[in-house]
Structure 1
Amino acid sequence: MSAAKGAVTGHHAIIREWVQLYTNGMYAWAYHKTTDKALAEDLVQDTFLAALQSFDKFKQESQPKTWLFSILNNKISDHFRQQFRHPVVNEAEGGLSFFFDEEDEWRKERSPQAWNTTDTHILDNPDFRKILQHCMHLLPGNWLAAVKLKYLEEKEGKDICQDLQITPSNFWQIMHRAKLHLRNCLEINWFKK
């Protein structure tokens, strides 16, 4: 066996060991960031493939777990960037005209209403979280990417604009529209049911 082939076999053994040690934690992190089980699994798999392909670049100056999570975080950011650049428009409604009339006034049936709830821990309710996740996935891809970066990754607006290569006014317009659609979806699927 050549030395190069032996090194590759050694790399595979190390990566297999890392898969055993770190998969669960990496999956939990990816799922927390994306709220999509299949996507989280794909991102973890892509992370291990990238680690195998760039194993020679691992200088062992950090712990393997730190290196792998760094790769995973880059994969997550790349996913959000790609989602933003290639939006999938799956709105049931026709944009802002769904909420506003020709004079830019709220449509009576779409104006914000007070939500009738006394539940101060609504995000702890698994049924509500399912509805929220459903509503988020109805957003166009670029809106969803911006919302996740803002509220799940807790990034600052200026950092999101830099990551997604958009202007601040574009970012705030996206956030405004996304909130309108999320509110409408939650009203229909949770608060008025």
Structure 2
Amino acid sequence: MDAIKVDSKLTVENWVNEYNDALFSWAFYKTSSRETAEDLVQDTFLAAYHKFDSFKGDSLPKTWLFSILNNKIIDYYRLSTKTTKRTISMSEDKGYEVTDGFFDETENWKVRAINPMWNQDEELLDNPDFNNVLKNCMGDLPENWHFAITSKYLTDKKADEICQDLNITVSNYWQIIHRAKLALKKCLEIKWV
């Protein structure tokens, strides 16, 4: 093994010791799965080792590693969107049909009582069973809706980037986000309660 490879291996080993916990916490927060978070962090360090030559030191190692991890998280959700059985997901037309029940004929909100389950949202997000139901409900969304919600809330992409990825207008984007949240709310109230 040449000196550069030994140096890069030692450096990455030091990074593992120093940044593993922070990277794992972020990946777990984004995926709600211990196994997935561990895999993503491991993939991050492997990528850092293989791309060590491209690290120029213009940023802190932690920043570079988080950048790699965020790309791994995005890839994870893209892959899960593609591999999720779409036979059970609703079409976009069906999505509009489901969420139209929240509005009257003049497009105003219908008055409805708030389900008490939504008063405990912070506790729900810490519940692995709830997170599984949420993931299933997200898998039922139309593909564009799922991508928009995942990009906005799980990968922190900006609206203009998501619009560009989906080739849609900003107003269409906000309508998709709104409708997707309504569909998720309805699905969770049925499958969780």
- Under a length normalisation based on structure 2, what TM-score does the superposition of the two structures give? 0.71
Which residue type is aligned with residue 149 of structure 2? Answer: V
Q: Structure 2 vs 1, CA of residues 116 and 183 (structure 1 numbering), >3 Å: closer, same or farther?
A: closer
Aligned to 1:78: 75
Q: In the alignment, residue 8 of structure 1 is paired with which amino acid?
A: K
Q: Structure 2 vs 1, CA of residues 64 and 56 (structure 1 numbering), >3 Å: closer, same or farther? A: same
Q: Map 1:39-78 onto structure 2 (within 5 A).
A: 39-78=36-75
Q: Deviations over 1:86-145 (max 9, x none)?
A: 2523575754548849xx9749xxx9952332874x222147754552233112384444
* Equivalence for 1:147: 149
Shift of 1:56: 1.4
Q: Which residue identity is paired with 1:117?
A: P
Secondary structure at the counterpart of residue 113 of structure 2: coil
- What SS does the aligned partner of 1:60 have? coil
State the partner residue of 2:115.
116
126-135 or 140-149, which deviates more: 126-135
Task: Give the alignment's TM-score, normalised by structure 1.
Answer: 0.71
Question: Quick one: which amino acid aligns to residue 116 of structure 2?
Answer: T
CA deviations on 1:52-77 (whole Å, 9 max, x unpaired) are: 11111222233221221122122223
Distance 1:119 1:76, change over 3 A: closer
Task: Give matches, 1:128-143, under 5 Å.
Answer: 129-130=127-128, 132-138=130-136, 139-140=138-139, 142=143, 143=145
CA RMSD, 1 decimal: 3.5
Q: CA deviation at 1:49?
A: 0.9
Q: Aligned partners of 2:2, 2:179: CA distance in 1, in Å?
A: 54
Structure 1, 123-132 or 71-80: larger mean CA deviation: 123-132
In structure 2, do the counterparts of structure 1 residues 25 and 133 end up closer, same or farther at CA, with 3 Å as the change threshold?
same
Quick check: 1:167 aligned with 2:168? yes
* Higher-helix-fraction structure: 2
Aligned AA (1:89)? K
Q: Any conservation in 1 of the 2:73–2:155 contact (CA below 8 Å)?
A: no
1:183 aligns with 2:189: no
Q: Distance in 1 between matches of 2:58 and 2:35?
A: 32
Q: Which moved more, 1:167-176 or 1:39-48?
A: 167-176
Q: 1:62 to 1:90 in 2, by over 3 A?
A: same
Summarize the Cα distance change of 1:119–1:158 in structure 2 as closer, same or farther, 3 Å threshold.
Answer: closer
Q: CA–CA distance in 2 between the matches of 1:171 and 1:127? A: 25
Check conservation: 1:131, 1:186, Cα contact below 8 A: no
Q: Which has the larger radius of gyration?
A: 1
The 3-state SS of whatever aligns with 1:125 is helix
Give the C-alpha shift of residue 177 in structure 1: 4.8
Range moving further from structure 2, 45-54 or 9-18: 9-18
Give the aligned partner of residue 32 of structure 2.
35
- Given that residues 34 and 148 in structure 1 are in contact (C-alpha distance below 8 angstroms), is that contact kept between their aligned partners in structure 2? no
% identical equivalent positions: 37
Which ranges of structure 2 fall in alignment gaps of 5 or more residues?
103-109
